[in-house]
Amino acid sequence: MNTRRLVVTGRTAQGKSVVASDSEVEPIEVALLPGNGFHQLWGDDSPPSVPTDGSPPPHPQYFPPAGGYRFLFFTLGPESIALPEDLDIVATLEEMELKLPGLAGVMEPEQPGMHTTDTVDLDLVISGEVWLELDDRIEVHLKAGDSVVQNGTRHSWHNRTNEPCVIFVTLLGARRSD
């Protein structure tokens, strides 16, 4: 899986715009999700304020709290990639919690992949194809260039092709009212 370049701007004490950092972000991969990768680029647990010096704000959990946000790429591998038969589920769940804190906790064990979060998700399919599944097995087929606004709804992603699907995601932390 490829790295992603992240350029961050900032402002000096004298008020000049500068490149605060220019780096490659490695994908986070976990054994429980073979073929998948997560490029966590930026985020904060509170609303942004500007200007800044470009230092990364803290964002320890995968999903933001109300008022926070995340900026990332998510690569969904084909469903044909199978889990190894000798997979240690406990160890892989621990690995997932270590590398992507809070992600495993929202997943439904009885229906793998289905999850609900207290976020508004702004999703844009960059490459490949994906099927978005909602309640009652409602599915929407999405291709490169298609976008979705998820409003805290229960959903799952399925890649039924032989090619990876890359999705750009912005997660906005929200308050659940129900």
DSSP calls for 8-56: EEEE-TTS-EEEEEEEEEPPB--TTSTT-EEEEEEEESS---S----PP
CA distance 21 to 7: 6
Mean pLDDT of all residues in 85-90: 90
Give the tens place of pLDDT for each residue, 153-177.
Answer: 999 999 999 999 999 999 999 999 9
Taking all residues of the chain, what is their mean pLDDT, rounded to a whole number?
A: 95
- Confidence at residue 1, expressed as pLDDT on a 0 to 100 scale: 82
Whether 63 is covered by a domain: the verdict is yes
Residue 75 has pLDDT above 90, yes or no: yes
Residue 178 has pLDDT above 90, yes or no: no
CATH of the domain at 63: 2.60.120.10
Mean pLDDT of all residues in 71-93: 92
Whether 102 is covered by a domain: the verdict is yes
CA distance 169 to 174: 15
Give the tens place of pLDDT for each residue, 92-129.
Answer: 999 999 999 999 999 998 998 999 999 999 999 999 99
Whether 10 is covered by a domain: the verdict is no
Give the tens place of pLDDT for each residue, 14-54.
Answer: 999 999 999 999 999 999 999 999 999 999 999 999 989 99
- Confidence at residue 82, expressed as pLDDT on a 0 to 100 scale: 87
Q: Name the pLDDT band for 132 (thresholds 50, 70, 90).
A: very high
Residue 64 has pLDDT above 90, yes or no: yes
CA distance 23 to 42: 12
Whether 33 is covered by a domain: the verdict is yes
- Judge whether 59 and 70 are in contact, CB under 8 Å: yes
Whether 7 is covered by a domain: the verdict is no
Domain that holds residue 133: 26-173
Whether 2 is covered by a domain: the verdict is no
- Judge whether 25 and 3 are in contact, CB under 8 Å: yes
- Confidence at residue 95, expressed as pLDDT on a 0 to 100 scale: 96
Whether 105 is covered by a domain: the verdict is yes
Q: Residue 48: which residues within 8 A CB-CB, separation 6 or more? A: 57, 69
Whether 17 is covered by a domain: the verdict is no
- Angle at the Cα of 97 from the Cα atoms of 94 and 99, rounded to 5 degrees: 105
Query: Percent helix, strand and coil across the chain, each rounded to 5?
Result: 10, 40, 50
What global pTM score does this model have?
Answer: 0.93
Question: What is the domain count for the chain?
Answer: 1
